[in-house]
Chains A and B, each alone.
Chain A
Amino acid sequence: MSSDLQTDATRTVEETEPGRPDGTGGSDGAGGGDGNGRDPGPSKGAPALGLVGGLRFLWTQLTSMRTALVLLFALAVAAIPGSVIPQRKISPIAVDDFISQHRTLGPLYDKVGLFAVYSSPWFSAVYLLLFVSLIGCIVPRVLTYARAVRAKPVRTPRNLGRLPVAESWESADEASVVLDRAEAELRRRRYRVARRTDAGGESVSAERGYLREAGNLVFHLSLLFVLLGVAINGLTQFRGSSVVVVGQGFSNSLSQYDDFSAGGLFSERQLVPFSLQLTDFQVRFETGPVQTGAARLFKATLKVTDAPGEPARTETLEVNHPLNIDGTDVHLIGHGYAPVVTVKDAQGNVAFSGPVVFLPQDGNFTSSGVIKVPDARPERLAFQGLFLPTGAMTPAGPQSVFPDLLQPQLLLNAWEGKPQADTGVPESVYTLDTSGLTQVRDPKNPNQPFRFLLRPGYEQKLPNGLGTIQLTGVQRWVKLQVGDSPGVGVALVAIGTGVLGLCFSLFVRPRRVWIRVRPAASVGGPDPNHPEDGDATGAAADPAATREGRRTVVDVGALDRADARTGLAEDVAELATTLGRPATTQKDV
């Protein structure tokens, strides 16, 4: 749509040609005309039109440019709260904190969906309305455009002198010669050209820049495809994660995931049957004075088997370099420490031995975790505590002060209880359910729980001969994210196409040029065709007109149909020169 100002100019043209057959100008009307609010038509008629009329009225309103503008604004505003208020999907803990800190606001926010803005009904309503409006706006314009590209360039206005840029001169050439030359030249400049004969004489009518509207339509249509891609993705996507300790493996089946989410149309067959083994994981942290402790390198080495029975191959996995196994992406999204412990029970039997995953709590990997030893006898045992890769005593208690393994410490307290039959109910490996357990007390000070610190290689005897626990080493683990986003391809291609369309829409200059020739008959007298533009077109009153040989008056008029375009005057001047405008009548542009 051109600007109002522009449309005014277009309208000048339209006034002079009542029977304009094509819809080129109409494309302005489809989105802009009704939306521009200049046309009071629908609002006047609405009340009398009943249900159908009312719906029609609503539809007209919804698909108007003004509504699009309001909805876009609403979208921008509606997106903001989600960046200010914690979102359940992104940071559930922050949401819980928020609710417990704001006793009145919290539940209120919860009710209106402020903790899940981007899936809330009101946010969805805004963008769905916007897209409905978009469809309503774009479909008619596509039709209009389809007609417009096939139509001939618009008829020549009667009075070219009134156009934004106009030139006029007398030529010694035959009218048809001038027109032929004009036609050839305009075609060379990639205008679509039509020859016309009307009351005003013979003329050439030319138009170019059809790609602008095409680009605009492509852009808006591609927005629909972006939404489509996002929707497909939402339905078919899956994503899960699994913590894998160095030396251990993962095979791609639902039971192996720690957490898993998928769209409504996901089927388990989408899980390709690969498996992998984590053979090594290297980490490096900044030890220099600047950004001390910042991550510098993560590199996991994996043995990947595409399907059971196939040979394994070695791959490396780094941040920014995900693995793609048969269409499924494997990302490295986290890492941490797993102290390796050996627990012997009261009878001296090894009741547990192996790495236990501790979860990092801060940037220096102060990690918390639980060691469960259900097989210890006569009492089952459990340990709860912190692992510190670089342990230090701080005013806030024991903490890690550097993320790498410089001073590993394992701080634990212990629990004992009657052995329990396995209920089969899955329980978290990261939290301890203390029902049926009693905390082991410090024998020297029974008011205090028994606490102890292990360094690698150290062994601790538990009070009352409950057994021993030894920290035999520390292993690293990585968190692998496995997933597939099938709709994103559609969305990305649509965005690419959209940007291209947008460039056409914004940078192509639609322009119309007309050239009319008439015999220089009216020598000296006022030109009946040009009653008011004597000084604009100049040549009619030019004494040169009486000179011999000047037989044809050539009028050129041109119009830019887009806002903020330049160079029209120069282009017309250049065209005029090509057509043989004598240098003497050249105007300063």
Chain B
Amino acid sequence: MNEQVLSNLSMVTSVVVYLLAMFAHAAEWASARRLDPAAETVEGSVTETASQRVAERELVAAGAGGGSVVEAPAAETLDSHPDGTGGADAPAEAGAVRQRVESFGRIGFALTVIGFALSVLGVVLRGVAAGRAPWGNMYEFTTAAMVFIVAVYLVLAGRFRMRWLGLPVTLLAAIGNGLAVTVFYVAVAPLVPALHSVWFLIHIVAAAISGAAFNVGGVASILYLIKRRAENKGAVRGYLTRLPEARKIDVIAYRFNAFAFPLWTFTVAAGSIWAEYAWGRYWGWDPKETWALVTWVIYACYLHARATAGWRGRNAAIIGIIGMASFWFNFIGVNLLFAGLHSYAGV
């Protein structure tokens, strides 16, 4: 078997494993339905400190003073409970439910790690088979971008206890790699001359990293909207109890988008420099270029919205999600729908 075949094999397997991981996380969410919301909320106040109570009055402050996701309050919601927190009146059954939720979560996480390893292997072998950086067409770019996204998630889940991102991220990874192996697949081939450039490497790596961050940010925004709605209705139930407070999810979404935005700015600029080398013009309003700019402007909107009363929170989150959608449209829709110079899809 040659590298290409092995690469395809591990990529296809990764899709299956991601799907399984997704099912495990879905089971985690489903089984959390029977968690007793009352028991889950008790813990919130356990970790509350005096300064935080002050903070409640001045909400931001809690965002700042209540600590990051690394800190205890956020972590507490995710960890298995230390005995005694609200356990006194909680029936033993709750403990069993929690145990099950926890096991599903762990299984999901373990599967994600395996899927990740497989997709890394797939991308690396693809690079070996092609004898170049493995992101020269849509198939390769998608699989590489998924590696970045899942890598970010694994760090978040492992180091910062953000395993609650598991369901949407595994869903994303399964869809991404799934589309790649079914719709976008092309066999290994050398690059067309327009892609022979260092800027190709720089531009695409930057695009993949900022894309990964935008996606994590977008996923967080979706969870934020869900959690916020539940909070407003006073009906935080099931798995939602295990998510951090909406306000914190919002901050997480912000951080990812804020990290990605300068990098995306750089991506667009680098792409324009590369276009000058390859095609003799910096900017030609090619559909890909146009949508990269549209995406950029939407995220500028997002950052502005967070600084404008009445837009912060829900509306900002919606803009963030639109931004993510625009990123995906640029990446898939533009390649497939419009003819342009950027037609490397090879599909």
Binding site for B on A (CB under 8 A): 1-6, 8-9, 12, 31-32, 35-38, 65-66, 68-69, 72-73, 75-76, 79-80, 82-84, 87, 89-90, 117-118, 161-166, 239, 286, 288-291, 294-298, 318-322, 329, 331, 333, 481, 483, 485, 488, 492, 495-496, 498-499, 502-503, 506-507, 533, 535-536, 538, 559-560, 563-569, 587-589
Contact = CB atoms under 8 A, between A and B. Distances in A.
Contact of B193 (A36, A84, A295): A295
Contacts of B49: 587-589
A339 B335 CA distance: 35
A76 to B, nearest CB: 4
B308 A65 contact: yes
Contacts of A331: 279-280
Given A165-B65, A536-B50, 10 more contacts: A3-B60, A4-B60, A9-B61, A35-B308, A36-B309, A65-B308, A82-B290, A161-B54, A319-B196, A568-B65
Contacts of B193: 295-298, 318-320
Contacts of B194: 319-320
Contacts of B128: none
Contacts of A565: 63-64
B200 to A, nearest CB: 8
Contact of B50 (A294, A538, A564): A538
- Tell me if B's interface is mostly helix, strand, loop or mixed: helix
Contact of A79 (B65, B187, B294, B303): B294
Given A65-B308, A164-B64, A288-B189, A535 B50 contact: yes
A506 B262 contact: yes
B304 A79 contact: no
Contacts of A563: 60, 63, 251, 254, 306-307
A interface secondary structure, majority: mixed
Among A9, A492, A495, chain B packs the most CB atoms within 10 A around the CB of: A9
Nearest to A502: B262
B257 to A, nearest CB: 10
Interface in B181-199: 186-190, 192-194, 196-197
Interface stretch (B105-113, B236-244, B281-289): B281-289
Given A164-B60, A566-B68, A79 B297 contact: yes
B291 to A, nearest CB: 6
A82 B294 CA distance: 11
7 contacts: A8-B59, A68-B304, A82-B285, A290-B188, A320-B277, A485-B276, A589-B49
Contacts of A481: 280
B336 to A, nearest CB: 13
B192 A587 contact: no
B282 A286 contact: no
B346 interface: yes
Interface in B49-82: 49-51, 53-55, 58-65, 67-68, 70-71
Interface residues of B, number: 72
B168 to A, nearest CB: 21
Contacts of A239: 280-281
A67 to B, nearest CB: 10
Given A164-B64, A506-B258, A488 B286 contact: no
Nearest to B50: A536
Interface stretch (B20-28, B227-235, B265-273): B265-273
Given A290-B186, A481-B280, A32 B301 contact: no
Contacts of B265: 495, 498-499, 502
Contacts of B284: 90
A163 B65 CA distance: 10
Q: Which 7 A-B pairs have the closest CB atoms?
A: A164-B61, A5-B60, A566-B68, A331-B280, A83-B287, A560-B64, A319-B193
Contacts of B311: 66, 69
Contacts of B312: 3-4
B310 interface: yes
B309 A12 contact: no
B294 A76 contact: yes
Interface of B: 49-51, 53-55, 58-65, 67-68, 70-71, 186-190, 192-194, 196-197, 251, 254-255, 258-259, 261-262, 265-266, 269, 273, 276-282, 284-287, 290-291, 293-294, 297-298, 300-301, 303-312, 326, 334, 338, 346
B5 to A, nearest CB: 14
A296 B280 contact: no
B124 to A, nearest CB: 20
A163 B67 CA distance: 15
B280 A69 contact: no
A129 to B, nearest CB: 14
B151 to A, nearest CB: 21
B308 A320 contact: no
B308 A492 contact: no
B279 A333 contact: yes
B63 A564 contact: yes
A32 B306 CA distance: 11
A236 to B, nearest CB: 14
A163 to B, nearest CB: 8
A9 B51 contact: no
Residue among B58, B188, B306 having the largest count of chain A Cβ atoms under 10 Å:
B58
Which of B49, B53, B297 has most chain A Cβ within 10 Å?
B297
A263 to B, nearest CB: 14
B284 to A, nearest CB: 6
A502 B254 contact: no
Nearest to A333: B280
Contact of A290 (B51, B187, B277, B282): B187
Nearest to A164: B61
B65 A569 contact: yes
Contacts of A538: 50
A567 B297 contact: no
A80 B50 contact: no
A530 to B, nearest CB: 12
Given A80-B290, A90-B284, A291 B346 contact: yes
A499 B309 contact: no
Nearest to B290: A83
Given A5-B58, A82-B285, A483 B280 contact: yes
B301 A4 contact: no
A240 to B, nearest CB: 11
Contacts of A333: 279-280
A536 B54 contact: yes
Nearest to A283: B193
Contacts of A83: 285, 287, 290-291, 294, 334, 338
A239 B283 CA distance: 13
Nearest to B281: A239
